[in-house]
Chains A and B, each alone.
Chain A
């Protein structure tokens, strides 16, 4: 066996200090296979070595929490009547940057495996995507379009085939993501409390089975690849991207659920990042046991694979199953029914080692706990906090003349046709969002709403993050991401129950990036306490850089809520001409970090809008109270693009299209400030004229300021603001909003 040189160590992303630590653990030099095993397990992707001290700040407990963050593959949350949900979000950013279709597809496959590993039946998915700007003819724009199209079809390919509906999410376009798109995928599964499966190698002497796709050379050391900056040379890492087979995963899903129901399983763990390595040492570590396998038994796609390759392969659609001794025959019968390759590859030992043999010869012998849990932890240096940005409208709007009616008209059209705000129908019509008969609110409203028929429960779910806010103030931006998620759920009638997050940041070795991470985590943690949503787990993706710098910090929040009754399900679409429109939470004024500013000037400037948690919570209570009392015809929060965009979306989501006649005063003497400011804790709701007094009583009781601003009509969207009167025919607005992305992608 060749000697381990400093070059080999460096190529594995292991620092000299870490190498010394490895020698200390082993009491000797590692061999090359062991070095490879350490390199993937101690990568950021698997060990969170750069982010762990930060992640400990999250609230992770609560009366609904059945399985905590970090304990298993995904957290589990009680939803009542003996039912629970397991959900999680995970990134596949780096693979998608070099191979968008397979990168995104295998991301979906990975998160689905995380869920059914918990014993849950996956019932829906969502995704949060970020790409560079797709407008224009520059080579970069064309690349961005190619990545966008590839990622969407990859998600569609995997999700549609496996039959798990993709019911919501978000897509934003900004050049900070050029060359480094973000692909954050979310999956939720349903299970009964007594069905929670554990990823522990329990029971010394129990046989260890491998089931699923054969191991190939694809995805070698992908976890390590994902823990480096993306560079021009990253294309050469394409072999680090895996190829997905959703059909195989469908069989694996059904077989594993059948297996878990059979009572023959002592522990189960998917092979995701770091494949066989991770699953063996993590199950052993959790079980306080050891696991021994022999690579000669592992089903392989090609001959001649070394133990190094077998252990580091990230071939997809594979599981490790620890079977109760004596139950082997029943287990084999299930694998055979589903035509899945399987093999008994080893057994559970009592010595605490992860031991790998090749035809009986030991090639890896590492204390499992050291590998899984004793990765070095780094407290990275954070840059000093810069002076907070300020929000001074007169400075921010200095270069935008106070608009006349024509300028207001054009500004709303420009905002609605901006790909980040425009309808994402082009995206979600490619996803099967209706399979499993649950999507009662189709994609495109504030939150997706899903009826889980087996449990008789109604779930709402959303993903949110305004990265411009996070760029300008990571702590406030992160707090707003949580508040907005909770607001979206409230608009659909739901009470939030828990959160998963996906922290996407740049290289943590740069102090300014690490500061963003720390600030955002603390902001998320604060807000999760305020909104009563423990963090059930998630994913950290650092090293999101392209040659021109780090991405805007993007701590994506995935939030899940519960709705009591189907009658409470509410959407953003106006329902009937004559309904009264209320603005809850006041006119606002803050233009900092707004989409209007970005659209008019290309600038990301100023402080994000302030967030007053008391006001925000009162708004949520008012929305739910209005909905439960049966007065809410529609509810939609004000977010990017402010009041005008919210009104337009409520008109354009209606089928057939509806209009509105609205009158509002100029704020600070400017119509654009009234219409496009992004002050928080606001929503547009509509109620029947006959419910006016009752609705206003609800608002007052909840302590929310309300203003009757107009009425729903069957005609155009008409807004008068002081002396200005602007009118938009709804079909023209629909063209701008509804077909923008379709036209760009044609």
Chain B
């Protein structure tokens, strides 16, 4: 499976994503510059974390206009997997490929730490390899990761089983205390209606090497490889 890792100006988790993907047998990854216009030959696309265009305006607000985004939209429309991590999630929301928005963390500070994640649904190509009932330990690193959507959207996400991850405590309970950034309903990751476009604030690529303290991120990439 060949992954495209999009490099926007200001992406800074692009190299990490490539390293993480390449650590799987049967997976390869290449950088794709944002000024490119084609994703031919790729099986999956990752929009990595970072500060695209400095994110001085609204996170992801400029990146959505990058030339490559037309190709990303086509790729998504064809039902192929697109993953947005952190800034990539923000870009997917800005581009209208996922509902809702990521706003300033409740505590106003940038937060970098390991969090616990409860898997909301294993019925996606991105979560199917997560062991049943397993609480995942994956880091976050963001200043604007508070997921916001209106009540109607939240209801749809719930009804359509589209919430992939919720922030939780070590026992898997999505309590207010376990919510690091004030996200509505502790939401950490969602997918689109077609269940092929995924966005999440936590960084699975930072939880793929044992010396970094967790390898739970591997379940997510493994899920894609299994599909």
Residues of A within 8 A of B (CB): 153, 156, 160-163, 245-248, 250-251, 337-339, 428-437, 439-440, 442, 451, 453, 566, 569
Contact = CB atoms under 8 A, between A and B. Distances in A.
B131 interface: no
Contacts, number: 85
Nearest to A251: B9
Given A161-B54, A451-B211, A430 B109 contact: yes
A434 B141 contact: yes
Contacts of A160: 51, 110, 112, 141, 143
22 contacts: A153-B109, A156-B110, A161-B10, A161-B12, A161-B51, A163-B12, A163-B50, A246-B54, A247-B54, A250-B10, A250-B12, A251-B10, A339-B9, A430-B110, A433-B112, A434-B141, A434-B203, A435-B13, A436-B16, A437-B20, A437-B208, A569-B211
- For the complex of A and B, the 6 pairs showing the least CB-CB separation, nearest first, are A163-B12, A247-B54, A161-B51, A432-B141, A440-B211, A432-B112
Contacts of A442: 213
Contact of A437 (B10, B19, B51, B110): B19
Contacts of B143: 160
Interface in B1-22: 9-10, 12-13, 15-16, 19-20
Given A160-B141, A245-B54, A437-B209, A432 B110 contact: yes
Contact of B211 (A153, A337, A432, A566): A566
B180 to A, nearest CB: 10
A435 B109 contact: no
B212 interface: yes
B166 interface: no
B10 A429 contact: no
Contact of A429 (B51, B113, B213): B113
A246 B209 CA distance: 28
Contacts of A161: 10, 12, 51, 54-55
Nearest to B15: A436
Interface of B: 9-10, 12-13, 15-16, 19-20, 33, 35, 49-51, 53-56, 109-113, 139, 141, 143, 203, 205-206, 208-209, 211-213
B16 A435 contact: yes
A248 B53 CA distance: 9
Contact of B12 (A156, A338, A435, A439): A435
B110 to A, nearest CB: 5
A161 B59 CA distance: 12
Contacts of B33: 337
A432 B49 CA distance: 12
Contacts of A434: 112, 139, 141, 203, 206, 212
Contacts of A250: 9-10, 12, 51
Q: Of residues A156, A246, A432, A566, which shows the largest number of chain B Cβ atoms within 10 Å of its Cβ?
A: A432
A127 B124 CA distance: 43
Contacts of B205: 437
Contacts of B20: 437
A247 B141 contact: no
A251 B12 CA distance: 11
Given A160-B141, A247-B10, A430-B110, A437 B53 contact: no
Nearest to B203: A434
A431 B56 contact: no
Contacts of A431: 110, 112
A450 B206 CA distance: 14
Contacts of A156: 110
Contact of B16 (A247, A248, A437, A566): A437
A247 B111 CA distance: 19
B112 A430 contact: yes
Contacts of A245: 54
B58 to A, nearest CB: 14
A440 B13 contact: no
Contacts of A251: 9-10
Contacts of B141: 160, 432, 434-435
B109 to A, nearest CB: 5
Contacts of A339: 9
Contacts of B139: 434
B112 A437 contact: no
A162 B212 contact: no
Contacts of A163: 12-13, 50-51
B153 to A, nearest CB: 29
Contacts of A440: 211-213
A338 B9 contact: yes
Contacts of B209: 437
Contacts of A162: 12
Given A161-B51, A430-B110, A434-B141, 16 more contacts: A156-B110, A160-B51, A160-B143, A163-B51, A246-B54, A247-B51, A248-B54, A250-B12, A430-B112, A433-B112, A434-B206, A436-B16, A437-B16, A437-B209, A440-B211, A451-B211
A429 B12 contact: no
A247 B53 contact: yes
Given A161-B51, A247-B9, A437 B56 contact: no
A453 B212 contact: no
B65 to A, nearest CB: 14
A247 B54 CA distance: 5
A246 B51 CA distance: 9
A439 B212 contact: yes
A162 B49 CA distance: 11
A566 B209 CA distance: 12
A161 B10 CA distance: 8
Contacts of A338: 9
A380 B24 CA distance: 62
A337 B36 CA distance: 12
A566 B211 CA distance: 8
A429 B53 CA distance: 24
A435 B139 CA distance: 10
Contacts of A451: 211
A215 B53 CA distance: 20
A251 B50 CA distance: 13
B9 A437 contact: no
B46 to A, nearest CB: 15
Contacts of B50: 163
Nearest to A569: B211
A615 to B, nearest CB: 33
B54 A429 contact: no
Contact of B212 (A153, A246, A437): A437
B19 A453 contact: yes
A566 B55 CA distance: 36
Contacts of B206: 434-435, 437
A436 B212 CA distance: 11
Contacts of A433: 112
A440 B111 CA distance: 18
A433 B141 CA distance: 9
A433 B12 CA distance: 13
A451 B16 CA distance: 13
A429 B35 CA distance: 34
Nearest to B56: A247
Contacts of B15: 436
A569 B213 CA distance: 13
A582 B111 CA distance: 36
Contacts of A439: 212
